[in-house]
Each structure stands twice: as C-alpha cells, then as structure tokens.
Amino acid sequence: MAVTSLFDPSGIAVVGASETPGKIGYEAMRNAVEFDGPVYPVNPSASGTVFDREFVSSVTDIDDAVDLALLCVPAPVVPDVVEECGAAGIGGAVIFAGGFAEAGKEGKRLQRRLIEAATEGGVHLLGPNTSGFLLPSEKLYATFATDVEAIPAGNLVVVAQSGGLAYSLAFRAENEGVGVSAMVGLGNRANVGFQEAIEHFDADDRTDAILLHIEGTDHARGLLETCHATETPVVAYNVGEQDVGDFAESHTGALTGRYELYEAGFAQYGVPTVRSVQELLDAGKSLSSCPRPDGPNVGVVTAQAGPGIAITDRLKAAGAELPMLTDETRETVEEILPGMTYSANPVDTGRPMPEFGDVVAAVARDENVDIVMVYELYERALGYPTGTLEGLVDEVDKPIVFASGGPDAALQNELADLEALRIPVYRTPERGADAVAALVRYALRNAEPDVVAEKVSR
Amino acid sequence: MAVTSLFDPSGIAVVGASETPGKIGYEAMRNAVEFDGPVYPVNPSASGTVFDREFVSSVTDIDDAVDLALLCVPAPVVPDVVEECGAAGIGGAVIFAGGFAEAGKEGKRLQRRLIEAATEGGVHLLGPNTSGFLLPSEKLYATFATDVEAIPAGNLVVVAQSGGLAYSLAFRAENEGVGVSAMVGLGNRANVGFQEAIEHFDADDRTDAILLHIEGTDHARGLLETCHATETPVVAYNVGEQDVGDFAESHTGALTGRYELYEAGFAQYGVPTVRSVQELLDAGKSLSSCPRPDGPNVGVVTAQAGPGIAITDRLKAAGAELPMLTDETRETVEEILPGMTYSANPVDTGRPMPEFGDVVAAVARDENVDIVMVYELYERALGYPTGTLEGLVDEVDKPIVFASGGPDAALQNELADLEALRIPVYRTPERGADAVAALVRYALRNAEPDVVAEKVSR
C-alpha cells in the first residue's frame, strides 16, 4: 500500500483550522504554511483568512491538487470528514484526535467506522491519536507540535509508535550533529502501520537508516520480515520489558507483553535493538554514515587504558568478537611505537601521540578486523589524527567509530572534521561501544541462526 | 590514615620539572603554578627558572611549607625520591610513572621497594601509574593532563581507578551543568586506595556525592563497608562484567573477574551501581542535589505517554515501586484536570498544560510517594512550571527529578531555573529514569537484606 499522498503531498488541507492560538487547529495551520505548496484552512463556521489563507467550508470545495488533510476535529466527526476526503480525492489524512481504539469499547467502534470510511475512499490514515509527522528538508510539518523547525534535516527516519518519544529523540539530534529525513508518530495505526512506513522510507533517497520505536503490535512476524527485507539498515527500540500493560494500552491501543519475543526475533533477523532514545540515535548515526560491516570482528585502539577496558567489556557483552591481529599488523604497530603499552587487541598506546592515527590505520587494514573502535581523550596540542585518517574509510571499506572526551569548546570543530570523513564520534566510551554493538548485530543479519543465538547474549 | 598532605597541601614540589613543552615535567609544572601557594620546580640538572620559579636541586633544599610532591621522574628512581620526600617532611607524593605492579615481576618488586620507602618516611602515595588528581575550586591541578581548567568546580568527587575514565566523565560535567569538587585517579593504589580517598572526601564540605570507578581491588569487603559507612552518598561504576583480565591487569595491576560479587555486594550495602560514565554522572547529580529519599516508591507524572511508558518500564526493571496514589491525591488530580488521559500512577496529562505543575505538586505531596519522576516535552508558550514548583522540594523533603526534551537554545535557561530549585533535569526519558533508579537503590540502604535481594533484579 503506497503512502505517497501522505508523506509526499502536493498540497495540504487543514480541517478544523482555527484563528485561536493554542488550539490544535491553529498550531497545525501555523506549521502547515511553512510548506512550499498550496495550504487550505477548512472550517465551515469560519470566514476570512488565517495565516493569509482564505477559509473554505469543506475539502470538497478545493480545486487545487491537495492530497493531504490534517484533521484537527474531535473524534466523533472524524469518520465523516475522512469520507469527504475520499470524495475529494484526498489520499492521505493525519488524525490528531484521541478517543479511538485506546479509549475503550466506544472508541474501538469509532475506529472501525473510521477504517471503513478510509477503505471506501482510498484514504491512507496516519493515527488516529498521533502528533503527526514531519519532513524537515521539505519544511513539511504535519503536526501541531511547537518548535519543530528546530529539528535538523538529515538522513535518519524515526518511525515511532509514540510521537512524544520521537520528539525526545529528534531534539537530541541537534546536539549530536545529525538530523532526520522524516519523523513519524504512528499512533493507533488504523491503516498505516510500521510496515507501510518502513517500506516507504526504505525507498526514500534521503534516508540512510530507519529508527523504530515499538510499544507493541499485533503483526510481529510481518514487522520482522519487513525489517529484514529492507535495503536500509533498521534499528529497533522495543519498550515494554516490564509489565506496563494497562498504561500502554491506554496510549495507542496496543498490547505490550511480547518483549522477549521481539528481542529474539529482531536478533534473529539481524535488526539491532537498543534500550534508550540516546542509544537509538547513536546506532542510527553509525549505521547511516559508516560502510556496512562484513562481520562482527572488532579491532579496538585506545589512547587510555581505562576507557579501553570499559569499551572492551561492553563490546564483549554485546556479542562482538575481538580477534587476534595478524602478525603483519602487530609488527607494523611495534614499528610505529616500540615497546608500546599493550599491543594485542585492544591496542593501547598509553596516551595520545602523533603516531596515533598510524596505529588506527594499521588496525583498520588488518584482514581479521571488520570494524574499528577507537578511544582517544582530546589533547589540544595534538588534536585528532584527521589528516592521517583522510580517505581511510573508503580505502578499507569498514566502519571506523571514535569515542572521545575533552572540553566542548576545544574539540567541537575537530570532531566535525572527523565526522566528515565518515567517522562518527561519540562523547563517552560506552556510547561508542553501543554504536559499534549495533554495527556488530547488523553484520550478523546474514549469519546462520545458531551463530546469532550464540553471539547475542544480551 | 589521613591523607591531608596529599589532597589539601600548603605547597607543591614538582620533581623532574622541565622546560621542554610536551614533557610530563613541563605539563605538571604548568598546571601546578595555577595553585595559590608556593610551587617549587625540583631538578638537580637544571638551573634558572621555569614558569618564573627558580629550580632547586632536591626536595630537601626547600624551606617553605611544602607537603605535596609531584614525581615526574622515571620508575627506577621513584623509591629514592620518595625517601627524600620523607626526609624533607613531605607527606604526600603523586607518582605519574608506570612500570610498577602493572608491569610484571620486576615492576612488582619496584613497587614493594616504593611502599617500604613511603611507609618509613610517612608519605602518602597517589599512584604510581596515575594521571594524578585535581581540585578545581582550589586550582590545584596535580596532573600532567591538559585542558584541566575546563573542568568545572562543583560538588561531585570522582575517585577512579583510571584517570582516563575520570576525565571522560569530568569533561561531560561541563555539558550537564554540574562540576567536581575533586577528581582522583588512583592508579596502582600503592598505599592510598579507595578507602582512604572515600573517607577523606566524605569529610569534605564541598562534596555531596562520591562517584567511584572500579576495575578491581583486593579489598572488596573493606571497600563495601567503607561505602556503607559514609555520610555522603556513593555510586559505583564497576567495570569488568566480561573477561577483560589480561588487558585490565596490564593497566593498574589489578585483577578483575569479581563482577557479580561486587554488584551483589553493592546492592546489599545500598550503594547504587551504574554501567557507564554518563550514568555515573547522572546518578551523582541527583544524589548530590536532591533530599535523601525515604523509600523506593516513585510517583511518575508525564505530559506524554510514550516517554512515560519508557520511564515506567525502566524504573520497574530497576526495582522501583510505583504505588497507588491516595484517594485524596486522585481527587485533587481529577479536580485539576477533569477527565484526564490516565490518572493512576503514572499520571499522564496527555500534553503540557498550565496546570502541569499543580499535578506534579499533588503527586509530590502524596504520602505513598517517596520520589517524584516527571517527564515533560518543552513547549515554548508554556515553559516549565518553575513558579508552581518553587519551594516544593523543601516542603515535601523528597527528590523531584525531571526529564525533558526540547530545542537546546529555547530551554537552556529555564532548565537552569528548575535545577536551582534542587530539581535535576535530564535530557532523555531513560537518563532521568536511571537517575531515579539510583535514588531508589540508595533508599534501600537501610532495608533488610531480603528486601534488597527481592527488589534489585538488575
């Protein structure tokens, strides 16, 4: 089921548009007019203009090519409005109102009526009970949320059962030097769910990784198979390890309680899973910027033992292998730094030094290594080995991931220079290790099931 | 064993001081001269001045009240210099050199000689094999590390087996609006270990929480008892879940591999444990700024269901209780927000609103609640409920912890206003939940062992 009219519209109708700040019909209108295309406020009981657009009484009165409607009307009238959308040839509708499947028997009945109207009119529904979606690069803000223009454009798509959680992630993106190609809150998933959204954004040129937030779904196998079939890497944040059943059901009408099943299923299908929005963002950053890893073998290079040990500990817990380096690599490393602190894997240079980049390059070129994980505290006098590492990622065609600490003001620019080389940088040892763990799990997607089961202990 | 001469010196001697930038003897001198007290460069083969201080040949030539020596000399001469320190009445020495217990049989012998010299002369040793320590409020930088002045002064002490790991944490403090009273890298712990450092900083007025990084120690029970006996809350980051044995031993000469023992021991003794430097910092921020919690019962208030569910999930996994609210609280909440989205515990207001602060206050006043956890996405038009919450923490004498997302530029100031009310703020749902989990575990310190065992599943 293609959802183009929803996520790639030509024009927008805001049904229930309002002149009163604070009302959803006002906030949605304020966001909608940022879009570079026709935007119509629809309200039978209003006249004049709002945001310089003239009110129309009904979606059926619009002549222009409008294919997306934002429904800012109360739940009981939603099915009728969707019917009108169908009649007007509008193929996508975002339904903000709650009071459907998440709100008991009466709500479930209303949702069934809504789905019937949508099916009949050929309307793709986002929601109900959603805060909507946004595509920053298009300035398409199909939402009533505020401050959305602060969310940077980039190459990660966030498909979330909860819009609130997606925003919590998107506002962190700013801080981490990444951005989103789209952010979608699915809400009750009346007829557009994870599968439809994943398939749409898998085919989207701007999207290099797909981040999922899942509270529960009735179509577990379908979801897993969709994730496995994508060309674009997928990471999943699956909430509901503990029993949060009745609160969760009151949210988007979904049943939780299948946590272990999902975790096992995702591992099996090579979809990395994470346990927080920060980890979801961090995994997405590596998966979207690094070359795809060929295997789970990590070469660790560190300039400080303590963070190196913390990283090694965490990588092993996540099922990574730390292979022996080849004799050739060990000789090269010994030549670069005679009598070095620790020259197995991890390689520990003891402290940052001018030769540090050469050591990283030697490990990256090792045929036993699929992924390189580096830790280096920033020292102003040395900076990062950006010059030495230039071109290395393309040459070895392997992920190289940095973790680093240091004074914010000093390292901000140099960090951006490293990231321009397709080397993502994380600000604590463990965040770097978790991002590498996601690469390791992604690398296992083509492995035999028993290999996966053995490696993935978490 | 008091370690005052080490951590609270009157004057400093830098032994092996050098005029060559990049050398440890130069970097240590550069840092030392920031201190407001006499600082002597000591080097028998140098003359003239360095950083405007005249070289002296030996610590025994110093008349002034100098009680701390920074030893920037190679391992083999360290025991002799420590002997001279003892003779000169210098009661504290920081030994940067490696090549002791972490470096095989020969190194172990050298460390024994060192300890004998120290014992005889009454010298407290930090290290060997350490990057030293620092007290930002005193501008006392007993280290060769660079950019140390970027580490903000505050009320958290970091006592770390690895200096590198401590720096990785301290440089994040800047970003989180907290600071350190002191930061100590213990290194090989020749005669000053965790116990001595913890006892010293427990008695320090500037310190409100003690953060530990542990790779391994031979005195597990002593460490646990010391942590349990402190007045100041302690949090421990215990590294080494996996087998990282030989790399770790090469680091500070300590044996790892007792991970489960430590985790169980800390839980038993009411010392929260964490799994990353970020979590260590976050736990320290709450434990140092909030009132001490009376029990593990958390009242959750959220303005968005998705983050609320993620928080609830994580809190339950950490052993928190989410009690029923009293009838009185539920009535108050229903009065404030009739027909609210979800009014059990968690309380879900559906979205931010002007009454949000009143709901938080009602839950904070509930007698079934020991700790309040709040999630609210920032909305510019509403801001945070700072006015409503003013005075609340002191009134209820309970921790109130916020997690919140939003555009950095918009919320920076308001976030600082909330924190001025002793309400720590975290930028993702899970980080807030983890900080509350640390409060929960701390609250269990006076509980019966079987209660602890039952609650602490992680």
A144 located within any domain = no
Q: What is the mean pLDDT of residues B253-272?
A: 75
Do the chains contact at A162 and B242, CB–CB below 8 Å? no
Q: What is the mean pLDDT of residues B47-61?
A: 96
* CB-closest option in B244, B277, B408 to A313: B244
Q: Are B4 and B99 in the same domain?
A: yes
Q: Are B419 and B296 in the same domain?
A: yes
Do the chains contact at A408 and B174, CB–CB below 8 Å? yes
Listed by number, the residues of chain B in 266-295 with a beta carbon closer than 8 Å to a beta carbon of chain A are: 275-278
Which pLDDT score is estimated for A89? Answer: 94
Per-residue pLDDT band for A244 (boundaries 50, 70, 90) equals: low
Q: What is the mean pLDDT of residues B405-429?
A: 94
Distance from CA of A203 to the nearest CA of B (A): 27
End of a domain among B241, B272, B289? B289
Distance from CA of B65 to the nearest CA of A (A): 33
End of a domain among A289, A316, A334? A289
Q: Provide the whole-model pTM.
A: 0.93
Q: What is the mean pLDDT of residues A297-314?
A: 95
| Separation between Cα atoms, residue B253 and residue A50, nearest integer Å | 72
Q: Are B169 and B48 in the same domain?
A: no
Residue A22 at interface with chain B, using a CB cutoff of 8 Å: yes
A137 located within any domain = no
Does residue B237 carry a pLDDT above 80? yes
Cα within 13 Å of Cα(A153), Cβ side: 8
Interface size, chain A vs chain B, as Cβ–Cβ contacts under 8 Å: 225
Query: What is the token pair recorded at B9?
Result: 């010196």
Of B308, B341, B345, the C-alpha closest to B429 is B308
Are the beta carbons of A434 and A314 closer than 8 angstroms? yes
Radius of gyration of chain B (CA): 25
Q: Are B207 and B272 in the same domain?
A: yes
Listed by number, the residues of chain A in 302-331 with a beta carbon closer than 8 Å to a beta carbon of chain B are: 303-310, 312-313, 316-317
Q: Are B77 and B101 in the same domain?
A: yes
Q: Which residue has the tokens 């590390």?
A: B145
Peptide bond before residue A128 is cis, with ω within 30 degrees of 0:
yes
Q: Are B105 and B42 in the same domain?
A: yes
Q: Are B276 and B246 in the same domain?
A: yes
Residue B74 at interface with chain A, using a CB cutoff of 8 Å: no
Does residue B457 carry a pLDDT above 50? no
* CB-closest option in A172, A251, A306 to B162: A306
Are the beta carbons of B101 and B90 closer than 8 angstroms? no
Q: DSSP states of B203-238 as a string?
A: T-TT-SEEEEEES--S-HHHHHHHHHH-SS-EEEEE
Of B233, B217, B358, the C-alpha closest to B287 is B233
Does the CA dihedral B155-B159-B163-B169 come out positive or negative? negative
Diameter of chain B by CA atoms?
82
Strand-by-strand arrangement of the A68-71 sheet: A39-42, A12-15, A68-71, A92-95, A124-126
B438 located within any domain = yes
Are the beta carbons of B406 and A175 closer than 8 angstroms? no
**Amino acid letter, residue B248:** A
Cα within 13 Å of Cα(A259), Cβ side: 16
Residue A448 at interface with chain B, using a CB cutoff of 8 Å: no
Are the beta carbons of A254 and A228 closer than 8 angstroms? no
Are the beta carbons of B162 and B185 closer than 8 angstroms? yes
Mutant choice from A213, A250, A282, A377 vs B, greatest count of B C-beta within 10 A: A377
* CB-closest option in A241, A309, A377 to B248: A309
Q: Are B378 and B285 in the same domain?
A: no
User: What would the pLDDT profile of B124-167 be if each residue is shown by its tens digit?
Assistant: 999 999 999 999 999 999 999 989 999 999 999 999 999 999 99
B343 located within any domain = yes
* CB-closest option in B241, B278, B346 to A317: B241
Listed by number, the residues of chain B in 76-95 with a beta carbon closer than 8 Å to a beta carbon of chain A are: none
CATH number, position B297: 3.40.50.261
Does residue B3 carry a pLDDT above 80? yes
B81-111 CB burial, b ≥16 within 10 A, e <16:
bbbbbbebbbbbbbbbbbbbbbbeeebeebb
Does residue A347 carry a pLDDT above 60? yes
Do the chains contact at A248 and B309, CB–CB below 8 Å? yes
Which pLDDT score is estimated for B384? Answer: 95
Contacts of B430 in chain A (CB under 8 A): 275-278
Mutant choice from A102, A213, A239 vs B, greatest count of B C-beta within 10 A: A239
Do the chains contact at A164 and B304, CB–CB below 8 Å? yes
Contacts of A303 in chain B (CB under 8 A): 164
Do the chains contact at B304 and A377, CB–CB below 8 Å? no
Q: What angle do CA B238, A310, A416 make, to 5 degrees?
A: 135
Q: If residue B284 lies in a helix (H) or strand (E), which one and from where to where? A: helix B277-289
Query: What is the token pair recorded at A256?
Result: 């939780």
Integer angstrom CA distances of residue B336 from A334, A388, B102: 70, 62, 63
| Separation between Cα atoms, residue A341 and residue A348, nearest integer Å | 6
Query: What is the token pair recorded at A220?
Result: 């577990």
For B230-254, what is the HEC assignment? CCCCEEEEECCCCCCHHHHHHHHCC
User: What would the pLDDT profile of B356-378 be if each residue is shown by its tens digit?
Assistant: 999 999 999 999 999 999 999 99
Per-residue pLDDT band for B1 (boundaries 50, 70, 90) equals: very low
The total number of structural domains in chain B stands at 3
Per-residue pLDDT band for B458 (boundaries 50, 70, 90) equals: very low
Of B450, B156, B437, the C-alpha closest to B300 is B437
Does residue B255 carry a pLDDT above 50? no
Which pLDDT score is estimated for B340? Answer: 66
Does residue A421 carry a pLDDT above 90? yes
User: What would the pLDDT profile of B81-108 be if each residue is shown by its tens digit?
Assistant: 999 999 999 999 999 999 999 888 999 9
Are the beta carbons of B444 and B456 closer than 8 angstroms? yes
Do the chains contact at B162 and A22, CB–CB below 8 Å? no
A185 located within any domain = yes
Do the chains contact at A147 and B22, CB–CB below 8 Å? no
Orientation angle between helical segments B277-289 and A429-443, nearest 10 degrees:
140
Q: What is the mean pLDDT of residues B48-76?
A: 95
Q: What is the mean pLDDT of residues A416-424?
A: 97
Pairing state of beta strands B273-274 and B234-238?
Answer: parallel
Q: Are A240 and A387 in the same domain?
A: no
Which pLDDT score is estimated for B254? Answer: 54
Q: Which residue of B has its CA nearest to A239?
A: B310
* CB-closest option in A247, A341, A429 to B168: A429
Do the chains contact at A306 and B165, CB–CB below 8 Å? yes
Do the chains contact at A174 and B98, CB–CB below 8 Å? no
Q: What is the mean pLDDT of residues A303-321?
A: 94
Q: Which residue has the tokens 């690398």?
A: A443
Q: Are B258 and B350 in the same domain?
A: no
CATH number, position A90: 3.40.50.720
Which pLDDT score is estimated for B406? Answer: 92
Q: Which residue of B has its CA nearest to A405?
A: B168
User: What would the pLDDT profile of A25-48 be if each residue is shown by its tens digit?
Assistant: 999 999 999 999 999 999 999 999
Do the chains contact at A407 and B168, CB–CB below 8 Å? no
Determine the distance from the C-alpha atom of residue A100 to the mean position of all C-alpha atoms in its chain, rounded to a whole number.
27
Per-residue pLDDT band for A448 (boundaries 50, 70, 90) equals: low
* Burial label, B394 (beta-carbon count in 10 A; 0-12, 13-18, 19+): exposed
* CB-closest option in B251, B342, B378 to A305: B251
Contacts of B243 in chain A (CB under 8 A): 316
* CB-closest option in B247, B309, B312 to A342: B247
- The SS3 call for residue B272 is coil
Which pLDDT score is estimated for A246? Answer: 64
End of a domain among A229, A258, A289? A289
Q: If residue B81 lies in a helix (H) or strand (E), which one and from where to where? A: helix B78-87
Q: Are A20 and A112 in the same domain?
A: yes
Is the reported ipTM for this assembly greater than 0.85? Answer: yes
Listed by number, the residues of chain A in 94-133 with a beta carbon closer than 8 Å to a beta carbon of chain B are: 98
Are the beta carbons of B329 and B362 closer than 8 angstroms? yes
Q: Which residue of B has its CA nearest to A241?
A: B313
> Residues for chain A: how many in total?
458
Mutant choice from B31, B278, B311, B313 vs A, greatest count of A C-beta within 10 A: B313
Per-residue pLDDT band for B455 (boundaries 50, 70, 90) equals: low
Q: Which residue has the tokens 């108050």?
A: B332
For chain A, what is the HEC assignment? CCCHHHHCCCCEEEECCCCCCCCHHHHHHHHHCCCCCCEEEECCCCCCEECCEECECCHHHCCCCCCEEEECCCHHHHHHHHHHHHHCCCCEEEECCCCCHHHHHHHHHHHHHHHHHHHHHCCEEECCCCCCEEEHHHCEEECCCCCHHHCCEEEEEEEECCHHHHHHHHHHHHHHCCCEEEEEECCCCCCCCHHHHHHHHHCCCCCCEEEEEECCCCCHHHHHHHHHHCCCCEEEEECCCCCCHHHHHHHHCCCCCCHHHHHHHHHHCCCCEECCHHHHHHHHHHHHHCCCCCCCEEEEEECCHHHHHHHHHHHHHCCCECCCCCHHHHHHHHHHCCCCCEECCCEECCCCCCCHHHHHHHHHCCCCCCEEEEECCCCCCCCCCHHHHCCHHHHHCCCEEEECCCCHHHHHHHHHHHHHCCCCEECCHHHHHHHHHHHHHHHHHHCCHHHHHHHCCC
* CB-closest option in B164, B378, B427 to A306: B164
B146 located within any domain = no
Q: Residue B185 is part of which domain span?
A: 151-289
Are the beta carbons of A79 and A110 closer than 8 angstroms? yes
* CB-closest option in B165, B380, B405 to A167: B405
Q: Are A312 and A272 in the same domain?
A: no
Mean pLDDT score of chain B: 91
Are the beta carbons of A168 and B305 closer than 8 angstroms? no
Distance from CA of A151 to the nearest CA of B (A): 8
Q: What is the mean pLDDT of residues A145-174?
A: 93
Distance from CA of B120 to the nearest CA of A (A): 31
Do the chains contact at A407 and B147, CB–CB below 8 Å? yes
Does the CA dihedral A247-A252-A254-A257 come out positive or negative? negative
Does residue A206 carry a pLDDT above 70? yes
Mean pLDDT score of chain A: 91
B134 located within any domain = no
